[in-house]
Structure 1
């Protein structure tokens, strides 16, 4: 009635079998996610620094770069956009990215990244109007 399967499954689940493609651990996946969120936050921070230079943003950028380098083993920095966005929109984006990074950092128990993310959330929240932050 049914024809038997003649090819090997691509979803090998039997114990002791090896697959032809590499698997990442949960920790490796979280490292990749965290590095991505922090790199995106660094890009927005650099864009804010280009518009409104400040010592706080310089320090934050250095700390973010150090964390991304630690997680990725290297760092590639984006060039700030030539058509700048409004500072409020950048602060909102940075706040959102810092929140995402905080969730992943907490999930992987990365204290240094969690503290940095929480500090950046607070800094960007202070730069936003309370109504604007509540609407997102």
Structure 2
């Protein structure tokens, strides 16, 4: 009654088996490194060199190469930079937690605490 399908599905892409697929872990590594790289740029802008080195170390661990450094300062409002850094650290924390990366999660949580304290005008012990 029904005739069997004789051709490939129109939904499959030609050469699909040649397409390089990444694992979920690799995708999360790329995402986490991206959030940390953005956080690194904001951290440099704030002049927090010690913290920037810690973030750069995590990026190097994830990517296998040292991150490029942001050379210029934009002169943005420090409060706006702290809010941006807080959001970026939060994103990094979510990804680090989903990939069970304790070191990156701790770093992101510490940065969130430090930027929250900076926004509220308080100083954390051990924070710049």
TM tier, smaller: 0.7 to 0.9
Q: How far is 1:97 from its partner? A: 0.2
Q: CA deviation at 1:73?
A: 1.1
Residue in structure 2 matched with residue 102 of structure 1 by the alignment: 93
Relative to 1, partners in 2 of residues 1:88 and 1:7: Cα closer, same or farther, differing over 3 Å?
A: same
Deviation of residue 77 (structure 1)?
Answer: 1.6
TM-score with structure 2 length normalisation?
0.81
Structure 1 partner of 2:34: 36
Number of the residue aligned with 2:69: 77
| Equivalent residue runs for 1:43-62 within 5 Å | 43-49=41-47, 57-62=48-53
Q: What secondary structure, in the 3-state scheme, does the structure 2 residue paired with 1:94 have?
A: helix
* Structure 1: distance between partners of 2:103 and 2:50: 15
TM-fit CA distance, 1:59:
1.8
TM-score between the two structures when normalised by the length of structure 1: 0.77
Q: Considering only aligned residues, what root-mean-square deviation do their CA atoms show, in Å?
A: 2.5
- Structure of greater relative contact order (alpha carbons < 8 Å, 6+ residues apart): 1
Per the TM alignment, residue 7 of structure 1 is displaced from its structure 2 partner at its CA by 4.8
Distance in 2, matches of 1:47 and 1:5, equals 61
In the alignment, structure 1 residue 68 sits paired with structure 2 residue 59: yes
Q: Does 1:25 align with 2:23?
A: yes
Stretches (4+) displaced over 6 A: none
Contiguous gaps of at least 5 residues in structure 2: 122-128
2-structure distance, mates of 1:93, 1:105: 18
Q: Is the 8 A contact 1:34 1:105 kept in 2?
A: yes
> Which ranges in structure 1 are unaligned for 5 or more consecutive residues?
13-17, 50-56, 131-136
**SS of residue matched to 1:101:** helix
